[in-house]
Structure 1
Amino acid sequence: MAAVEFDEETARQVDRAYATPDVVAQRAEVLALLAPQPGERVLDVGSGPGYLVASLADAVGSGGAVHGLDPSGPMNDLAHARNAERPWVHIDSGDAAALPYPDATFDAGVSTQVYEYVPDIPGALAELHRVLRPGGRALILDTDWDSLVWHVADQDRHARILSAWEEHLIYPYLPRRLARLLGEAGFRVAEQRVLPLFNPALTPDSFSANLMQLVASFVVDRQGLTRADADAWLADLRARDEDGEYFFSLNRYLFLAVAA
């Protein structure tokens, strides 16, 4: 596994992806399921550029508190800037494996697209359980990359590209195991949902338009792939759109759990 390095350029790419209508809709689904209330204390594990932190802060209001936690300096810089006018927001440096908070600090915790990168998931979930009060809520969203359907002409090259892309993950199929892992960490799973990201056309503001650039950048010099391979794959996807055959679908899975 070789994690994506969140330097300033990659952070900006992720920031653009999080602003797409697909991820805006995803954020609305996360907020509806977690249902943050005025005055609550909420933790966002892996808060990235801070979009969800801002939405959580608006939901809990100035009588509450939101902590965003991320190990990436460039991501935290974006989150700080995005939440500069919300003094009840705190952006902290750290990771999911060792949360820098006392026991029972938070009423709710959320993590989107994070645990599939964490080496010790049982330990990280135990940490999340520790910092939640009894009865506190946890909302976890992750992707099962087996659910990806992306129409291309060159299937062999596409398979090589996706195989190399999965190197940026530790657990590319995590959702199928999450319910059991949450139970073992002391949570009761209250609800599970699937959230498809579906792009039937390649528009500049679509999630897949941003994802394809991240993928193409990451796979070069992995598993024998070259820059020319990545560029040919991008051209294949764009040609599908020109032919009226573009198709992208990816499933994300949401788990709402309660700390026993």
Structure 2
Amino acid sequence: MSGLDFDEETSRRVEATYLTPDVVWQRKVVREALALRPGERVLDIGSGPGFLAVEMSDEVGPDGAVCGIDPAPSMLAIAADRSGHAVEYRQAGAERIPYRDGTFDAVVSTQVFEYLPDVPGALAEVRRVLRSGGRLVLVDTDWDSIVWRSPDDALTDRVLTAFEQHLADARLPRKLPAALVAAGFRDVRTSVVPMLNVGYSPATYSAGLLELVTAFVVGRNGITAAEAAAWAEGQRSLGADHFFSLNRYLFVATG
């Protein structure tokens, strides 16, 4: 897995997509699934730019606690600026969570587990830091679900195949129900969180994803910088005929 390099530039691109109405709505769906109560302790794995962590801190209130972990220093810096003292951040990944057993009432992770080479190990870590009866909410994408209209379907296929190189498992959601049960979680429930953009607008998830994909794929799968730029411009040129759809899947389980 090549992975995304979350330097300052990439982190800012990701932050911009988190401000789009599509991802704002996704965070609302995630918070509803978590159903946090005042005074609870919650861990955000892969806290990114910190939007969800800040929103959760309002829900748990001054008697609760929100902790965020992320392996990227650039992301942690952005999140800390956004959160102030409302959230505790630590540099860490899901494979080794720096908290004691049974610390949290709830754990949440969005768009993280598809990057992990050892999903069973990460789920074991989550279960360790989650109190008995605590709640886990995961969101990940199955990249086979993507529908992206393009003036050049053959180039789009090459681009999207190359983009999958930034993931450990581009089709993880279809395996997660069984993996959660194997890790000892109970009451596993699954729902779909669709992303749909009809008509091109810079203020959409697909426009933000377009920038990330274009930057990543150059030199992969034989794609040149000129081809990547042409692919991106082709998407923008569709205007009202732009069409993008992608399914993310939300899993709720009890520890």
TM-score by length of 2: 0.99
Q: Is 2:30–2:137's contact at 8 Å kept on the other side of the alignment?
A: yes
- 1:240-251 equivalences in 2 (<5 Å): 240-241=238-239, 244-251=240-247
Per-residue CA shift, 1:128-186, capped at 9, x if unaligned? 00000000000000000000000012111111000100000011000000000000011
Letter in 2 for 1:202: Y
- 1:83-102 equivalences in 2 (<5 Å): 83-86=83-86, 89-102=87-100
2:17 is matched with which residue?
Answer: 17
2:201 is matched with which residue?
Answer: 203
For residues 78 and 233 of structure 2, the distance between their equivalents in structure 1, rounded to whole angstroms, comes to 31
5+ residue gaps, structure 1, are none
Q: Which runs of 4+ in 1 moved over 4 A?
A: none
Q: Is 2:181–2:188's contact at 8 Å kept on the other side of the alignment?
A: no
Q: Is 2:140–2:248's contact at 8 Å kept on the other side of the alignment?
A: yes
Note if 1:109 corresponds to 2:124.
no
For residues 111 and 234 of structure 2, the distance between their equivalents in structure 1, rounded to whole angstroms, comes to 27
Letter in 2 for 1:214: L
Return the offset for 1:85: 4.8
Note if 1:222 corresponds to 2:240.
no
Letter in 1 for 2:247: N
Note if 1:33 corresponds to 2:44.
no
TM-score by length of 1: 0.97
Note if 1:173 corresponds to 2:171.
yes
For residues 99 and 28 of structure 2, the distance between their equivalents in structure 1, rounded to whole angstroms, comes to 27
Letter in 1 for 2:196: F
1:4 is matched with which residue?
Answer: 4
Identity of aligned residues (%): 51
For residues 204 and 232 of structure 1, the distance between their equivalents in structure 2, rounded to whole angstroms, comes to 17
Q: Is 2:177–2:188's contact at 8 Å kept on the other side of the alignment?
A: no
For residues 195 and 111 of structure 1, the distance between their equivalents in structure 2, rounded to whole angstroms, comes to 14
Note if 1:56 corresponds to 2:56.
yes
For residues 144 and 155 of structure 1, the distance between their equivalents in structure 2, rounded to whole angstroms, comes to 20
Letter in 1 for 2:40: E
2:143 is matched with which residue?
Answer: 145
Return the offset for 1:189: 3.5
Q: Is 1:182–1:189's contact at 8 Å kept on the other side of the alignment?
A: no
Moved more, 135-144 or 227-236: 227-236
For residues 99 and 228 of structure 1, the distance between their equivalents in structure 2, rounded to whole angstroms, comes to 42
Letter in 2 for 1:224: G
3-state DSSP of counterpart to 2:117: coil
